[in-house]
Amino acid sequence: MMEEKLQEVTYTEDNIRTLDWREHIRRRPGMYIGKLGDGSHSDDGIYVLLKEVMDNSIDEYMMGFGKTIDVIVQDEKITVRDQGRGIPLGKVVDVVSKMNTGGKYDSKAFKKSVGLNGVGIKAVNALSTYFRISSFRDGEMKIVEFECGNIIKEYPVEKTDEPNGTLTEFIPDNSIFKDYQYQAEYIEPLLKNYVFLNSGLNIVFNEKRFYSRNGLVDLLNEYMTTDPLYPIIHLKGDDIEMVLTHTNQYGEEYYSFVNGQHTTQGGTHLSAFREAVSRTIKEYFAKNFDYADIRSGMVGAISIKVEEPVFESQTKTKLGSKDMGPDGVSVNKFIGDFLKKELDNYLHINHEASDIMLQKIQESEKERKAIAGVTKLARERAKKANLHNRKLRDCRIHLNDAKGNEQEDSSIFITEGDSASGSITKSRDVTKQAVFSLRGKPLNTFGLTKKVVYENEEFNLLQAALNIEDGIEGLRYNKVIIATDADVDGMHIRLLMISFFLQFFPDLIKKGHVYILQTPLFRVRNKKKTSYCYSEEERQKAVKKLGPNPEITRFKGLGEISPDEFKHFIGPDMRLEAVTLRKTDQVKELLEFYMGKNTMERQNFIINNLVVEEDFA
């Protein structure tokens, strides 16, 4: 039987195919823009397309051409107009439709550019059902229109009164980005980062202007959710800018950039920054501080400019370069030398800031030593506990595999009770979905020190399962999904878990790793069709669509949903709500109100927002 099957499979010249650039991008879009998505997450592909176009305009600004970039998002259509030099008219078609073609291979024209691979704008072209590029250059213009990478119309060069620059218009392909929708809440941070990194640049988004006078200081003020303990340290030099402060929060929080590109996964420059900051501060105070104590509560950002940077993927989220450029100076030495001189000088001059910094480091050291014994015992307990049987049903792939490759799809469900845990465990994809079972309600950690993370068995084992004891760089799963019942107890457990992360691992939330699993509240069905509804509005629509007297089931808990049904809710169409933090979300005040003592203010809030549900079971 096996021989017959082997004989049926042929491998000849007919099996060998050469895809043209358009077909290759459209068949393997993930190679060029990462994930696809529908616009409901900040890293979905439609935002990468916008970023690829913006990068070209930013490169023009960095080379000294054009101070304003206009961005218009109208329904599905994106328009970006810069005031740069404009693409040389005779090369407009080549630049947007021939792979490995672009001006950025010439380091004289673009010395420290983001887009070096000549791929980004071609990916936008190939993945758009409508793509129009217009170049205005010295009183002349060239316009070309494409559909899915194919030229539809090429206009001859004409005279124009338009100022120099490039106008790019595109509509992403709905067959690739299913039912996508651009959301301003994800576009605005992207555009804000551009102005923070390019002081003096104006970006106008749907008539809303973004501008930064103070660079990375403005960036830190925008993203910090706790007050700095001392004024932000701001240091600038040739090809480098950094900011630094401490806050009363656990963990570390960093933002890193290369040539204007937000390297969300860090890389060699961020590693060098963390090491050099720690070493410089330790040497300044001439005390044998542990680096972990120096960096506890630290918030910072670094931006460097590198000639011919090497990123670990086309989406450029992690820097792999070890050298700054052709002169051979290493990234590590460049950043280390800069901080050794500039940060050391700053601390010697600004004694008030250095005194507050010293006090913060000493407090962190004191707390760490106070729980050192507990920590050691907790680590041993976590090792001895057979996580794979008692608490954790692991998956086969993790955020970082043995080769260091990122596994975006890896996730872990934190769920309550044996029945809910059992349903998810039986329904999950064992390749990429893990399950961690809570035993009853977790402890309210508000106002407690990190000692509780090690003393409490639930939190100690969860921390070990996530591998975040020394920071989220070791995080084993890309998505940490809180999966609880949709009743009062389930909502309370959600709040307790979010409080735990906010209190001790805020960067886990700030980096977009924590989610809430949305499960259906109702099942509406007749003999022919079944609809799962996530809200009362969806239930009403389903009842109307299915006709008179359908069977309506109100799901009270996850354990009531059979494993066969559960597969629909944690599969490719899984509904997740990201847990996010904004500048206006002052963490201390937020936790105090919701998780602190039972104040009259909170009682009144609960009474005023009480919702009484009907029973549809």
Alpha carbons 240 and 548: distance in angstroms, whole number: 68
* Domain shared by 452 and 344, yes or no: no
Res 387: pLDDT: 53
- Per the DSSP assignment, residues forming a β-bridge with 316 are none
* Domain shared by 126 and 204, yes or no: yes
Phi, psi of 536 (to 5 degrees): -65, -35
Phi, psi of 414 (to 5 degrees): -100, 115
Domain contains 118: yes
Res 565: pLDDT: 82
Q: Which two tokens stand for residue 498?
A: 């979010």
Q: What is the pLDDT of residues 236-282, one digit of tens each?
A: 998 899 999 999 988 889 999 988 888 888 888 999 999 999 999 99
Q: Which two tokens stand for residue 556?
A: 């009270």
Those residues whose C-beta lies under 8 Å from the C-beta of residue 126, and which sit 6 or more positions away, are 21, 22, 25, 26, 148, 149
206: left (phi over 0), alpha (psi -120 to 50) or beta: left
* Domain shared by 561 and 548, yes or no: no
Instruction: Give the strand pairing for 575-578 and 514-518.
Output: antiparallel
Domain contains 302: yes
Question: Please, what is the average pLDDT of the chain?
Answer: 84
Q: Which two tokens stand for residue 221?
A: 């003020």
Q: Which two tokens stand for residue 174?
A: 């709905």
Q: Which two tokens stand for residue 182?
A: 């651009």
* Domain shared by 489 and 529, yes or no: no
Helix (H) or strand (E) holding 569: helix 563-569
CATH number for the domain that contains residue 100: 3.30.565.10
Those residues whose C-beta lies under 8 Å from the C-beta of residue 79, and which sit 6 or more positions away, are 70, 71, 72, 73, 167, 168, 169
Q: Which two tokens stand for residue 338?
A: 């800069």
Alpha carbons 416 and 436: distance in angstroms, whole number: 9
* Domain shared by 600 and 545, yes or no: no
Residue ranges of the chain whose pLDDT lies below 50: 1-2, 6, 17, 101-111, 115-117, 403, 615-617
Res 400: pLDDT: 66
pTM strictly above 0.95: no
Alpha carbons 531 and 545: distance in angstroms, whole number: 10
Domain contains 603: yes
Domain contains 613: no
Domain contains 66: yes
Domain contains 3: no
Domain contains 17: no
Helix (H) or strand (E) holding 421: helix 418-427
Alpha carbons 279 and 337: distance in angstroms, whole number: 11
Res 616: pLDDT: 45
Of 210, 240, 267, the last residue of a domain is 210
* Domain shared by 401 and 461, yes or no: yes
* Domain shared by 591 and 535, yes or no: no
CATH number for the domain that contains residue 498: 3.40.50.670
* Domain shared by 562 and 549, yes or no: no
> Are 298 and 244 in contact, with CB atoms under 8 Å apart?
yes
The gap from C-alpha 26 to its chain's centroid, in whole angstroms, comes to 24
Residue 152 structural domain: 22-210
Q: Is 511 exposed, middle or buried (0-12, 13-18, 19+ CB in 10 A)?
A: middle
Of 210, 233, 260, the last residue of a domain is 210
Of 310, 334, 368, the last residue of a domain is 368
* Domain shared by 278 and 156, yes or no: no
* Domain shared by 385 and 533, yes or no: no
Residue 389, amino acid: N
Res 352: pLDDT: 96
* Domain shared by 317 and 449, yes or no: no
* Domain shared by 32 and 134, yes or no: yes
Number of Cβ atoms within 10 Å of the Cβ of 43: 16
Domain contains 9: no
Spell out the SS3 assignment of 302-359: EEECCCCCCECCCCCCCECCCECCCCCCEHHHHHHHHHHHHHHHHHHHCHHHHHHHHH
Res 385: pLDDT: 63
Res 488: pLDDT: 78
Q: What is the pLDDT of residues 86-142, one digit of tens each?
A: 999 988 998 888 765 444 434 444 445 554 435 788 889 999 999 999 999 999 999
CATH number for the domain that contains residue 265: 3.30.230.10
Q: How far is CA 118 from CA 152, 236, 307, 453, in A?
A: 22, 30, 15, 48
Res 563: pLDDT: 81
Res 552: pLDDT: 92
Res 78: pLDDT: 95
Question: What is the count of structural domains for the chain?
Answer: 4
Alpha carbons 205 and 211: distance in angstroms, whole number: 11
Q: HSE on the CB side for 202, CA within 13 Å?
A: 11
